[in-house]
Structure 1
Amino acid sequence: MSGPLDGKRILVLATNGFEQSELEVPRDRLKEAGARVDVVSPESGEIKGWDKKDWGRPVKVDRPLADAREADYDAIVVPGGQINPDLLRAEPAAVELVKAFYDAGKTVAAVCHGPWLLVEAGIAKGRRMTSYHSIRTDVVNAGARWEDAEVVTDNGLVTSRKPDDLEAFCAKIIEEVREGRHQRRAA
């Protein structure tokens, strides 16, 4: 059986402290749609999630961040949780990788606190975005036009508020990847 993302490759960028559902639901939905999905991390072996109020389950790392290249993938997904994007935005290689996807016109998706990494990569300015409400000010201060919506899509940039919105988030990622590269004007 074929899916809408057959032949596509998606990179999920995470480290210890990712919100469990915000990694697992997109990973699983994108695989179900036919994509090959790799979890990429600065860590090797496994990374451990955060499941609402305590540590969650480990997830296997498919490729180290040092070996990940934008050219090998069609899209990048950044799960949230407070810990994951905060640690990743302090990793120059993670920030550069997000920026490379954006500059190549590929789908860049982030949920919950994940937009912190988009802010750090300098790609929020002039874009329509959403996020978890507690980082709204950070997103606005980075120059984005923040919207209170479950999912906001702006020319291949997909953002979502919280775990309750994951099904709509995944549907938009699939739609944007199927559209292919996006021509982005300077903000």
Structure 2
Amino acid sequence: STAILWDERRLAPLEYDHLWVSRRPDVVGSRSWGTRTVRMLTWIHFEDLETTRDFYVVDNHLDHRSERARRKGAKLNVEVVSRFRSPVIVAGDFNCDAGSKAHRTLTGAGLTDAWEAARERLTPVSWGTFNGWRRSPDEGGPRIDWILVRDAEVHRAAVNVHTENGLPPSDHWPVQALVGLR
């Protein structure tokens, strides 16, 4: 799954969908383009109960082996996001570095990389997001997890390297951003 969690005291989901990153995105569990693993994206249209503003969140997990599948997955994201008329936040494990063809496809379609746009970065630029279950950040490693935005300003961004009892939460460090809707 590509889970999206929210505070129900602040946000109300208006609509949502799950799509599979394949030639047949509406077919549950489908895969294409040389992938061995089923990959998907989830989107939710939210209303902010405090401001009544609406926005979309898209969460992704693109393939870790097939560069073609990542490019096609980026194009699927562009198709999905192009239908949305409100601000958008696209996030996830893209399994390729910023500057890759998939990243260029998304940023070339009007999405802005939150890491690059942030007024303030709270962690070093050199930290990669894949940790392979290591307990400390990878200096100089690739940033393969991104947050991209449209019609939003990014105040702060960081790679969260918090561990519990010395153990990372995943084989990736979470990327975080403080975003304000325009």
TM more than 0.5: no
TM-score by length of 2: 0.39
User: Which protein has the bigger helix share?
Assistant: 1
TM-score by length of 1: 0.39
Between structure 1 and structure 2, the one with the greater Rg is 2
